[in-house]
Structure 1
Amino acid sequence: MASPAPTPALPRLLKALVVSSVGVAASHLVLSDTLCLSFTAQASAALGAGSGYSSDQAFTSALVNTFLLMPLVLWIGMRVAGERRAGPMVVAGTVGWVAAVGHGVDVLDSGPGAVLPPGSLALVVVGAALASLVRRSRAQTRPSSSSSFQN
């Protein structure tokens, strides 16, 4: 069975821009909602509530959930868009997202409804989309023929 012809660069880039935008939006939503839970736990602990779901647990789950969500959204999104070999995009998008969150998590700590710096978010979207254009060439191996040994 022959593999389908690769998608031209521009349509693949446009698909990747849409998918990476959805990935950033979904990851940001999960991050901000779970950080809001962290703020609520922190406030209830300050008011003397019993030890239940601690703010440290909420903060850790916020980061873990968003770091797991980004690669899943990127990979599934590209598969739904009909694209294969999205590995470089997934890696670049995830690394970019981790860097953006690490750089801007202090902004999110300022309160509910805060947004990561738009420049960082745009950089993640564009970086992941451009990484989708990286393709590994498949090495075509041909079985050696016995004619090369003939004189």
Structure 2
Amino acid sequence: MAGRRGRSEAEPGDEGRRDIGKITFVDPASDLGPIGLRKARISAMRYVRFVKGAVTVAVATAACHALMSAGFAWARDRADQSGDSMFSGAFEFLLTTAASWVLMPLLLWVGMRMMGETSNTVLVAVGGLVWLGLSGYFIDDIDRAGGYIPILALAAYLLLGSGLAGVAPGRRS
């Protein structure tokens, strides 16, 4: 039993500990102490949070990209049906763009919450704003028939989102 005087045998798992009276000292070189275990657990939890963020960002990006591709195809069809009159398909185009911009932060938040992660403010805010800029910059690429955002831009967004998922305000690592 830890903390007792006159103990003759060391119990399993007590390597690196010395008992003096009722105080247990932990050898800093061993990772068995409460601080070492806590650091290892936080480190492992942080990596899991990055992976959860990567999955969430990938799914949200695929959903928003598919929404924009389908919505822009709908806008092109409406423009063709109306004989390419002025502003034909503009409503569908604007509706699709706005839906994508609103849906991304919502999907990021819901995805991380479904995976049990809290404190997602940084991911939701920055990820949503970066998606607004990314999809706005490449909007002509998506608007083409069969068009898409370049793979390198999507990969950079995925890496950024994964990194942002590891940031949890109010938590110390």
Question: Could you tell me the TM-score, scaled by structure 1's length?
Answer: 0.78
Between the two structures, name the one with larger relative contact order (CA 8 Å, sep ≥ 6).
1
Is 1:98 paired with 2:138? no
Identity %: 25
Taking the aligned partners of 1:79 and 1:61, their CA distance within structure 2 comes to 27
Give the Å deviation of 1:61.
Answer: 0.4
Q: How many residues align?
A: 131
Give the Å deviation of 1:116.
Answer: 1.0
* 1:149 paired residue number: none
Is 1:74 paired with 2:119? no
- Identify which of 37, 43, 60 aligns with 2:94: 60
Is 1:23 paired with 2:60? yes
* 1:123 paired residue number: 156
Q: Which runs of 5+ in 2 are unaligned?
A: 1-40
Looking at secondary structure, tell me which structure has more helix per residue: 1
Runs (4+) off by over 6 Å: none
* 1:33 paired residue number: 70
Say if 2:142 and 2:149, in contact at 8 Å, map to a contact too.
yes
Q: Which runs of 5+ in 1 are unaligned?
A: 139-151
Superposed CA deviations along residues 36-85 of structure 1, whole A, max 9, x for unmatched, are 1100011112267xx9x940100000101101111111000000100001
Structure 1 or 2, whichever has the larger Rg, is: 2
Of residues 101-110 and 81-90 in structure 1, the stretch that sits farther from structure 2 once superposed is 101-110
Question: Could you tell me the TM-score, scaled by structure 2's length?
Answer: 0.69
- Identify which of 76, 79, 82 aligns with 1:42: 79
Give the SS at the match of 1:46.
coil
Looking at secondary structure, tell me which structure has more strand per residue: 2
Say if 1:92 and 1:127, in contact at 8 Å, map to a contact too.
no
